[in-house]
Structure 1
Amino acid sequence: MELRHLRYFVAVAEERNFTRAAQRLHIAQPPLSRQIQQLEETLGVQLFERTARPLKLTDTGKFFYSHAVQLLAQTAELESMTRRVGNIERSLSVGFVGSTLYGMLPKIIRRFRDDHTTVELSLHEMSTMDQIRALKDGHIDVGFGRIRHEDANIRRVVLREEKMIVALPQGHPLSALKPVLSLQDLVHETLIIFPKAPRPSYADQVLAAFHDRALKPRRIYETREVQIALGLVAAGEGISIVPSSVHGLKRDDVSYKELDDPSLVSPIIMSMRKLDESQDLREMLELIYRLYEEEKIDYVPVTDEERGRS
C-alpha cells in the first residue's frame, strides 16, 4: 500500500463519486477505479458499497477513512517540517487574530526581531480556524488566536486569560450605574459583536457568556472587526464586550467598565505544529513569558510539559 492509494481513497470517499474524484485528482477514472480495487485486494476488505448511489463507505471503509486522513495530514506536516529544517535561510511566519494587536503581540514581535536579526519574520492576519489550517499546510509556523480548538496535529499553549470589559458610548446611563457591571445589566442594550465571519470566533465567546447565564441581549449587531464595533459604540448604536487590552485605544467618545464575573475571560493561545521543535519557537515562547513578567501581566504558568520542551 502506497501513499497515493490513500490519497485516491480519500478523494473517492469525500466526493462519493469516482468521476468527481478523478477530476479532483486530475487523473482518468478507469485508473482510479483500478487503484481503489487494488487497495481493497491488498487489504482483503471491501471499502465501498458500490451498489449505493451516491457511493457509500462500508463500516470498514469508515474506519479506514478516519485513519487515512490523519496519516495524510501527518505526512504533509512531515514534508513541510523537513523542508523547513533543510532551508538555509531562517524564516518564521506568524498568524494572528486582529484583537491580539491591542495587547502584547506588537511588543513581542519587535523584541523578537531585535533579538533574532537573522530570522525573517512575516505577519499574516487570519482567524484562529484559518491559522489551524495554515499551520497544517505549512503556510505559517505559529499562530496567536482566541478559540479553544482541539486538533491532534496542533500543539496549543494558553498564554493568558484576558478579562472582558464593556465598551459604552460616552455618557451612557450604565456608566454611572455602579462601579462594575454584570451581563444582566446589559440585556436591554443592543450588543455589538465581532467578527461577523468566519466563525467560530471571539463573537461566539461573547454570545456563549450570555447563553451560559440564561440571558439574551435585546438585539445583536454583527460587524467585521473591533475598530468598527467601537465606532458604532461611539455613535450610540449599542454596547460591545471587548478584551481588556482594547482599553489602550484611547477614545474620547467611548468609555469602558469592568464586569463583575472573573470567569468572563478570553484566552490568548499560541498554536504550533505538534512536531515542530524549532529553537526559534522555543525562544519566542520564553520571550513572551519574560515580557509578561517585565510588564507585570498575569499569565497562565508554563506547564511541566512545555518546560520540558523549552
Structure 2
Amino acid sequence: MDGGLMLELRELRNFVAVAERLNITTAAREVNLSQPALSRQIQALERKLGVDLLERVGKRLVLTAEGADFAIQASELLERAADLADQVSRNELENGGKLRIGASPQTISWLVSPAMARFREHFPHVDLVVGEGNNDALVEMVEHGAAHLVVANLGISNVLAAQKLFDARLHAVLPPGHALQGRSAITIDDIADEPMLVMRNGFLTRHLFEQTVAAHGIRPRVVLESESTHTLAALARDGHGVAIVSSSAQDIPPFGHAVRIRSGLCQTSAEVSALWNPRRYRPRNLSRFLDILVEVCNERLTGQA
C-alpha cells in the first residue's frame, strides 16, 4: 500500500455501509447512491488500496480477510472523525461521543448495568453501547476494536491493558435439600457423580471447571451446557443437577444454595479485569467510565462481604 495514500471519509463511509450489510443494493440506499455508482466506488477503493475487499461466494457477497480488517479500521476512523466533529460542534469536551462496552450476561447484570446508569448521570450525552459474549469472544472484541473496553479475564493476551476488578470463584448451586448444603466449601470430588449443569465453552466459568475436573482426574456427567447462569441455577433449584457457576452470579436468587468449590490441586478462581487495547483508539470518556466501573465494583464487593 502506498505510504502517501489519501482516503476520503466518504470512501470509508460507503465501504463500511457495504461491509455491515453485505448487500450492495441495501447499502446504496443507505448512502443515497445508485447501485452501479456504489459498486464503482468500491472497485475504485480496491484499486487504490491494491487489495480485494469483497468477493462473491455463489450468490453471497462476503468480506475478504483484508476487507474484514479494513472494515474495523475504517469504522474506528469514522468514529474518531465523528468524535472530533462532536467536540467542535458541541464545544463540550467532556460530554459527547460513543463508548462500546462488552461483558458476559451475568457481569452486565450485576456490574456493568449499574455502572452505566451512574455514568449517564454525569455524562448524559455519551452514547453507551453494550454487547455481551463469553470470555474468549470478549477478548477478541477488544483486541480487534469491536469494543473499547470489556470486562473479562485477560488470559494469555499480551496486547491488552488491564485493571483488575474482582476474582471470579467457582461455585456449585446445589438442589434444595442436598446433603452438602450448609458446608462452607466442597471439592469437585464431592460432586463427581452428580449430573452437571455447566456454561458453554468460551466462558471463564467453563475454563475453571474444565481445569478443575482435569486436575482431579474426573470425567464429569454434563447434562446441559448453557450461556445463561440463570438457566443453570433454575434447573439446579428444581433438582435437575448441580449448576457450576461463578461468584459473580450472586445476584440470582438460587445462589443462596451455592457453595464454594475449592481444590488443593489447581486454582478455582481467576482475575476478572477491565480490558482495553492501548494500540487502538480510545474515546476521551473511556477513563471516566473505567473510574466509575471500579467504584461500583468496589461498592458491590463490599456489600457482598
Q: TM-score, normalised by structure 1?
A: 0.60
| Corresponding residue number in structure 1 for 2:283 | 276
Q: SS of the counterpart of 1:237?
A: coil
Query: Deviation per CA, 1:119-169, whole angstroms, max 9, x where unpaired?
Result: 449998752369859x9679xx865456869798x8653423221122212
Give the aligned length. 279
The one of 8, 22, 34 equivalent to 1:2 is: 8
The one of 223, 246, 254 equivalent to 1:220 is: 223
Equivalent residues in 2 for 1:157-176, closer than 5 Å: 157-175=163-181
Is 2:236 the partner of 1:233?
Answer: yes
Give distance in 2, aligned partners of 1:49 and 1:249.
45
Give distance in 2, aligned partners of 1:48 and 1:109.
36
The one of 95, 103, 106 equivalent to 1:99 is: 106
What displacement does 1:83 show? 6.1
What displacement does 1:42 show? 4.0
Give distance in 1, aligned partners of 2:53 and 2:255.
64
Aligned pair in 2 of structure 1 residues 34, 269: CA closer, same or farther (>3 Å)?
Answer: same
Aligned-residue RMSD, C-alpha: 5.4
* 1:192 maps to amino acid: L
Give distance in 1, aligned partners of 2:128 and 2:51.
47
Aligned pair in 2 of structure 1 residues 136, 80: CA closer, same or farther (>3 Å)?
Answer: farther
* 2:107 maps to amino acid: T
Query: Deviation per CA, 1:65-115, whole angstroms, max 9, x where unpaired?
Result: 3552242132133145436646559489776544237866688678x57xx
Is 2:246 the partner of 1:243?
Answer: yes
| Corresponding residue number in structure 2 for 1:263 | 267
| Corresponding residue number in structure 2 for 1:34 | 40
The percent of aligned pairs where both chains have the same amino acid is 16
Equivalent residues in 2 for 1:1-310, closer than 5 Å: 1-6=7-12, 20-26=23-29, 27-42=33-48, 45=50, 47=52, 64-65=66-67, 67-79=69-81, 81-82=83-84, 85=87, 88=92, 90=95, 97-100=104-107, 118-120=122-124, 126-128=131-133, 132=141, 144=151, 157-175=163-181, 180-182=186-188, 184-194=189-199, 200-202=202-204, 204-205=206-207, 208-209=210-211, 213=215, 215-223=218-226, 225-246=228-249, 254-260=257-263, 263-271=267-275, 274-278=281-285, 280-281=288-289, 283-284=291-292, 287=295, 291=299
* 1:264 maps to amino acid: T
Aligned pair in 2 of structure 1 residues 62, 2: CA closer, same or farther (>3 Å)?
Answer: same
| Residue ranges of structure 2 left out of the alignment (5+ in a row) | 1-6
What displacement does 1:249 show? 5.9
* 1:72 maps to amino acid: A
What displacement does 1:256 show? 1.5
- Larger deviation: 77-86 or 156-165? 77-86
Q: SS of the counterpart of 2:174?
A: strand
Q: SS of the counterpart of 1:219?
A: strand
8 Å CA contact retained: 1:175, 1:257: no
What displacement does 1:239 show? 0.4
Q: SS of the counterpart of 1:169?
A: coil
* 2:195 maps to amino acid: T
* 2:282 maps to amino acid: L
* 1:68 maps to amino acid: F
Aligned pair in 2 of structure 1 residues 262, 245: CA closer, same or farther (>3 Å)?
Answer: farther
Q: SS of the counterpart of 2:186?
A: coil
8 Å CA contact retained: 1:147, 1:200: no
Q: SS of the counterpart of 2:239?
A: coil
Q: SS of the counterpart of 1:230?
A: helix
| Residue ranges of structure 1 left out of the alignment (5+ in a row) | 298-310
Q: TM-score, normalised by structure 2?
A: 0.61
8 Å CA contact retained: 1:108, 1:291: no
